[in-house]
Chains A and B, each alone.
Chain A
Amino acid sequence: MSGEIKHEWPLFEVFVRAKRGLNHVHVGSLRAADHEMALHHARDLYTRRNEGVSIWVVKSDDVVASGPDDKDAFFGPSGDKAYRHPTYYAIPDSVPHI
């Protein structure tokens, strides 16, 4: 019987908002038959001690991620743009509040 049906439910990624004012943060993954069950399992698995006030679940298959090989193409170009940072600009110490 179980030979025909896949042993595992799909994988979901879980994000928890620790408290009001903070972003949802990835906390791990779990297996569930559908989104509703994923939410319930996430509650039981990741928030047993008031770790959160809100949960997102996303099917892992639906996550599109940059890979380690994309690192240079993605993040390299910002390396030589020091002028995007405030410390790039020399302002005399005598000028207040800037």
Chain B
Amino acid sequence: MHIHKYEKIWLWFGAVCLVGFLSIVGVSAYAMGNQPPSHMETLDPKTATATAPFDKPGLFKKGSKEYEAVMLAQAFTFTPQKLSVPVGSTVTFKVTSTDVVHGFQIPATNVNMMITPGYVSTITQTFTKPGKYLILCNEYCGTGHQVMAVTLEVTA
């Protein structure tokens, strides 16, 4: 099939751009570990609150400036409702839902994932700036969805 010379130039240009984008996100994902949250662990959503570690949700210190936040998402709040870590801390969030699908987002960071009942979602973030961060639900979960948020304080 005959294709105009300029169209060939354009399509090659476009293809190279797309390959470029894919290489950047691919290298970042596979060489630097920046994969989108894709945890495979499962549990029974009905008994989640009795299943470790979700029977004791809370913030746990795992090392110097390393924390694990075990959290429950339930209509319309997260447990625990207040978290506080010193600046420079790396926090791994481990979250599950006991009812419907929720979202888990910390604005102004890359923390953003879906919380599906029956699954555990995890994501890790280092907090380099002090401040009061919002942890909010960004997936519609019912009438109270717009109030579903807790705060994470990063202390100086």
> Do chains A and B interact in one complex?
no
